[in-house]
Amino acid sequence: MVVGQIHDFLSRKGRDFSVDLLSRADTKERIKGCLERSNRWKQRKSPLQPMLMVWLILCLPLFRARSIPNVLAYLLAALRAAGSILPLKPVTDGALSHARKRIGVQPLKSLFQETARSKTYAPTFHGLRVSSIDGSMLTVPDTPANERKFGRPGTGQGKAAWPQMRAVTIVDVRSHRIRAANLGRCKGKGEGERSLAVPLLDELGVGDLILMDRGFYSAPQLSRLLERKVDFISRMILQAKPKILQCIGPGDYVVKIKGRRLKSPEDTCQSRRRALGKTVSFTFTARMIVYRVKGAREPVCLVTSLLDSQSIPAVDIIHCYHDRWESETSYDEIKVHMASVKHGSQHTIFRSKNPDFVEQEFWAMLCVYNLVRELMQEVATAHGFSPLELSFVDFVHALEYLIPEVQSAKDFQLPYLYRRVIWDLAQCRLRRTRRHRAYERVVKVKLSKYGSKKPGHGQRIRNIDEELCLV
Which residue would you say has higher pLDDT here, 211 or 88? 211
Residue 398, H or E segment: helix 392-407
Please enumerate in sequence order all residues whose Cβ is within 8 A of that of 13, keeping only pairs 6 or more positions apart, or say none. 52, 79
Please give the model's pTM, rounded to 2 decimal places.
Answer: 0.88
Q: Mean pLDDT across the stretch 8-33?
A: 87
Number of C-beta neighbours around residue 253 at 10 A? 20
Task: Tell me the per-residue pLDDT of 336-388, one tens digit each, with 9 for 90 and over.
Answer: 788 777 655 667 888 889 999 999 999 999 999 999 999 999 999 999 998 88
- Residue 374's pLDDT is what? 92
The predicted pLDDT at position 103 comes to 93
Window from 2-16, 131-145, 208-222, 296-310 with minimum mean pLDDT: 2-16
Weakest mean pLDDT among 28-42, 90-104, 192-206, 329-343:
329-343
DSSP 30-62: HHHHHHHHTT-SS--S-SS-HHHHHHHHHHHHH
Q: CA-CA distance, 362 to 306, in Å (whole number)?
A: 35
**pLDDT of 8 strictly over 70:** yes
At 2 the three-state DSSP class reads: coil
Of 87-96, 187-196, 348-357, where does mean pLDDT reach its minimum?
Answer: 187-196
Query: Which of 12-21, 36-45, 420-429 has the weakest average pLDDT?
Result: 36-45
Write out pLDDT tens, residues 411-467: 788 888 999 999 999 999 988 766 666 667 677 666 666 677 776 777 778 777 777
User: 134-143, 144-153, 154-163: which range is least confident on average?
Assistant: 154-163
Radius of gyration (Cα) for the chain, nearest Å?
26
DSSP output for 294-347: TT-SS-EEEEES---TTTS-HHHHHHHHGGGHHHHHHHHIIIIIIS---TTS-S
**Separation of alpha carbons 137 and 154, rounded Å:** 13
List the Cα angle 182/179/25 in 5-degree steps: 120
Count the neighbouring beta carbons within 10 Å of the beta carbon of residue 380: 19
Sheet holding 178-185, edge to edge: 178-185, 164-172, 129-139, 208-212, 231-235, 300-304, 279-291, 252-262, 243-249
pLDDT score recorded for residue 180: 93
pLDDT tens digits, one per residue of 103-119: 999 999 999 999 998 88
CB 47 within 8 A of CB 91: yes
pLDDT at 274 over 60: no
47: amino acid identity, one letter: P
Residue 269 above 50 pLDDT? no
Across 154-175, average pLDDT: 86
**What's the burial of 459, exposed, middle or buried (CB within 10 Å: 0-12/13-18/19+)?**
exposed
pLDDT at 447: 64
Give the number of other Cβ atoms within 10 Å of residue 410's Cβ: 8
The identity of residue 114, as a single letter, is E
The amino acid occupying position 8 is D
Q: How many CA atoms lie within 13 A of 76 on its CB side?
A: 27
Strand, helix or coil at 444? coil
Query: What are the residues whose beta carbons fall under 8 Å from the beta carbon of 290, sequence distance 6 or more?
Result: 251, 253, 299, 300, 301, 302
Distance CA 68, CA 46 (A): 18
Q: Is the pLDDT of residue 169 over 90?
A: yes
Report the distance separating Cα 319 and Cα 248, nearest Å.
18
pLDDT for res 408? 83
Confidence of residue 273 (pLDDT cuts 50, 70, 90): very low
Least confident of 228-232, 277-281, 299-303: 277-281
Query: Which residues lie across from 255 on neighbouring strands?
Result: 244, 286
Q: Domains in the chain and their CATH numbers?
A: 3-103 (no CATH), 110-330 (3.90.350)
Given this model, what pLDDT does residue 172 score?
92
Quote the pLDDT of residue 192: 84
Average pLDDT, the chain: 85
Tens digits of per-residue pLDDT, 192-213? Answer: 888 899 999 988 999 999 999 9
Helix, strand, coil proportions of the chain in percent (round to 5)?
40, 15, 40
